A and B are shown apart, each in its own frame.
Chain A
Amino acid sequence: MSVAEAPVEARVGAQVETGEPMSARILRFVTKTPVYFVLAFIGLLWLVPTLGLFFTSLLEPAAIGTTGWWEVITSPSLATIDNYREILDNEAITSSLWTTLWIALGATILPIAVASLAAYAFAWLEFPGRDWLFIIVVALLVVPIQMALIPIFSLYNDLGLFDTIPGLVLFHTAFGLPFAIFLLRNFFIGIPRDLLEAARIDGASEFRIFFRVIIPLGLPAIASLAIFQFLWVWNDLLVALTFARDTQPITVAIFSQMRQFSANIELIAPAAFISLAIPLVVFFLFQRYFVQGLLAGSVK
């Protein structure tokens, strides 16, 4: 499915073909105008909720609760960055942002490292029961996170991993593995066999082949996976809500303010906006990989 993007571009290109009389082009534009309007309207509809959060986060505290966010557009004097200043002075929020970052980075790097090793073994090493083991690993995709929460909660309390960054990283890593292995193994197996054979004949060890051949060639798949995993972990609420108390990622920090939603909007709105701005930046920077990964992932 990951090749599907190319035809889209090719087709868009094909439509621009010239040689067609101007009148025909104008006619086509006119007949398509309603479609443009409908799409512009839907696009606006889709944009408004996020804009609403953003403008609400700009309202001065006195205005929150009495003024709708849309009034900022007509009277910009209502807007202030004080809420953001408050947030960034707020020790609890800043430390939870760092916590989120460490968890997300750790839980992206670790599963990719572990999964590429396993994926290589499943793709190119020979050992008994290989195919069965691969099927079992992929089958673990079925297991909902909920199945692990209670026993791991008890285990973490015994091991002292409760409310720690490593505890959260390890949990996310384990649950990220089946999909990561599935994706990478299918990508690695497409690497031309000759490349590996040549390296083996030259006497390269499996580790050398792994680091010098597989990883460089597997980078596109690894990049897709990394973006997905990063966003997944950054955006997580369930796991963090269960295993974190004081070492809170940002989602949990905001969530704990939501009991008094209306009273805390001046804190919730900017914090929520910061927490979603980072994934948005990642998304815009790596859109291409994101869509590829999505198309691959939807086949799982």
Chain B
Amino acid sequence: MSESASTVEAPPRGLPPGDHEPGLFQRYGVALIFLAPTLVLLGVWVVYPTIRTIIRSFYDRDGDEFIGLDNYETLFTDDTLVTAIKNNFLWLLIVPAFVTAIGLVFAVLLERIRFSVAFKVVVFMPMAISLFAAGVIWRLMYEKDPSQGTINAGIAVVKDAVSPSGVLSAAQPSTEALQGGPEGGLVLQKPLAPGDVAQLGLTGIRSSDVPADAEQAVVPEALAGGITGVVWRDFKPGGGVPGQVEEEELGLPGITVELRDEDGRTITETQTETDGTFAFEDVEAGPYLAAIGPDTFSEPYAGVSWLGASLITPAIMMAYVWVWAGFAMVVIAAGLAAIPRDLLEAARTDGATEWQVFRRVTVPLLAPVLTVVFVTMLIYVLKVFDIVISVAPGSVQDDANVIALAMWRTSFGGVNDFGLGAAIAVFLFLLVIPILVLNVRRFRREI
């Protein structure tokens, strides 16, 4: 790696001069034989098509009519294509910086521990598999239903820990005495005073939704100076009397019961026991209303629609970062290992904090490596295709569109407009050139 493309060593001496001046073929024929396959392959498969594509971009979809820059005009006015260009610029703005930052963090963390190989292998592994397979993997991760999609399942666990979802989302009052709906909760219509016993019967609960620890419902004793009551599943297999606690009817544990004043403001709340009973002790006189809190009826978590139109691009970007973080980490770790230890030690001896050492010594010394990672990512992100087409379901591909995908869909995905497809390809080509020129110039400077 000590040579750049442009600084070529002086040609090595050829054969020792012979008796006679060799002919042109004898002198260069060998080189020609060595180079011929390369020249043919590059000529037919790279150079010729490139020229052909540029010309083709000025013709209409069938290639019959010269239409000047019309295809390029379409490229910047058509809604789907403009979305593709916008999305691709978002990718350029976010992903390379993010991947480089994550790679830096991982590499620095790795420096500090001993058994880093396992971690390196795990994080680097996605690099070996195809972006397409990564797309399949993440398509599964992003399934909307929390019982299927891993990410939503993870969110559901956290959400349930913070605010448990109401298991009784479909519950209905068993009698007219209880009124209301999921928004305000179900309110017992009869006002209560201390010493009263409230009976809040619910039906419409599937037996699979009844909490596992539920026991036979019990009507509690009245409590002097307090209000007691029971919330139970007012359903008896084989029939029963609505509004009455009977044998085989289960209490509903863990239900929030609210005690409200006449204006409907919640004064205090409590949870039901395993037999469905609850009690408010020491309440003042005055009419109250008892209600089952609205959170009891909250729908179970439905999952974030990662694969929907609005989140699809960030979702694909996350998958892409998962793939490329390992690359960034390995390259940056190699750079980090090459930094002379003395420099860091000197800074520490001078009293610099770890953060200062990192910020003022490590990062500046790593700058060339960070640039390599960043620029490499720029080039790959510009051409991103496989992972977009595999993560995004067909219905949201217009929203997830990027330039390379637009090129393929326009040319081969059913539209089959080769003129416009060629124009998109040329546009992509034009975007890649400055990045590569930048790369080569930086590369030459370093040598």
Contact = CB atoms under 8 A, between A and B. Distances in A.
A190 B118 CA distance: 34
Contacts of B106: 42
Q: Chain B interface mostly helix, strand, loop or mixed?
A: helix
B386 A238 contact: yes
Contact of A117 (B35, B116, B394, B439): B35
A92 B343 CA distance: 60
B28 interface: yes
B414 interface: no
Interface string B253-290: 00000000000000000000000000000000000000
Interface stretch (A72-80, A83-91, A149-157): A149-157
Contact of B38 (A39, A42, A118): A118
Nearest to A203: B15
A53 to B, nearest CB: 5
A70 interface: yes
A125 B42 contact: no
B141 A121 contact: no
A259 B53 contact: no
Contacts of B13: 126, 197
A8 B44 contact: no
A231 B5 contact: no
Contacts of B44: 155, 174
A173 interface: yes
Contacts, number: 300
A48 B28 CA distance: 57
Contact of A272 (B50, B53, B123, B133): B133
A166 interface: no
A143 to B, nearest CB: 6
B65 interface: no
A50 B41 CA distance: 38
A213 interface: no
A33 to B, nearest CB: 10
Interface in A1-49: 1-2, 4-5, 7-8, 11-12, 15-16, 32, 35-36, 38-40, 42-43, 46-49
Interface residue tally of chain A, by bracket? 35 or more
B418 interface: yes
Interface stretch (B75-83, B205-213, B227-235, B425-433): B425-433
B22 to A, nearest CB: 12
A121 B34 contact: yes
Contact of B335 (A4, A146, A258, A283): A4
A132 B325 CA distance: 36
B128 A148 contact: no
B337 A7 contact: yes
B89 interface: no
A222 interface: no
A114 B38 contact: yes
B47 A140 contact: yes
Contact of A186 (B3, B112, B330, B426): B3
Given A175-B46, A294-B331, A53 B16 contact: no
B31 A174 contact: no
Interface residue tally of chain B, by bracket? 35 or more
A26 to B, nearest CB: 14
Contact of B42 (A5, A39, A145, A174): A174
Interface string A114-132: 1101101100111110110
A126 B35 contact: no
A141 B436 contact: yes
B11 interface: yes
B445 interface: no
A147 B327 contact: no
A141 B47 CA distance: 11
B130 A4 contact: no
B91 to A, nearest CB: 15
B128 A46 contact: no
Interface centre among B30, B127, B334, B425 (most CB of A within 10 A): B334
Nearest to A290: B128
B192 interface: no
A258 B439 CA distance: 37
A130 B11 contact: yes
A109 interface: no
A15 B113 CA distance: 10
A49 B28 contact: no
Interface of A: 1-2, 4-5, 7-8, 11-12, 15-16, 32, 35-36, 38-40, 42-43, 46-50, 52-53, 56, 65-70, 114-115, 117-118, 120-121, 124-128, 130-131, 133-135, 137-153, 155, 170-171, 173-175, 177-178, 181-182, 186, 189-190, 193, 196-197, 200-201, 206, 210, 231, 234-238, 241-242, 251, 254-255, 258-259, 261, 265, 268-269, 272, 275-276, 279-280, 282-283, 287, 290-291, 294-296, 298-300
19 contacts: A4-B334, A39-B110, A43-B119, A46-B122, A48-B150, A49-B126, A68-B150, A143-B429, A146-B424, A146-B428, A146-B429, A150-B425, A177-B41, A234-B130, A251-B130, A255-B390, A275-B130, A279-B130, A280-B129
Please provide the 3 A-B residue pairs with the shortest distance between their CB atoms, ordered closest to farther.
A235-B130, A174-B45, A283-B128
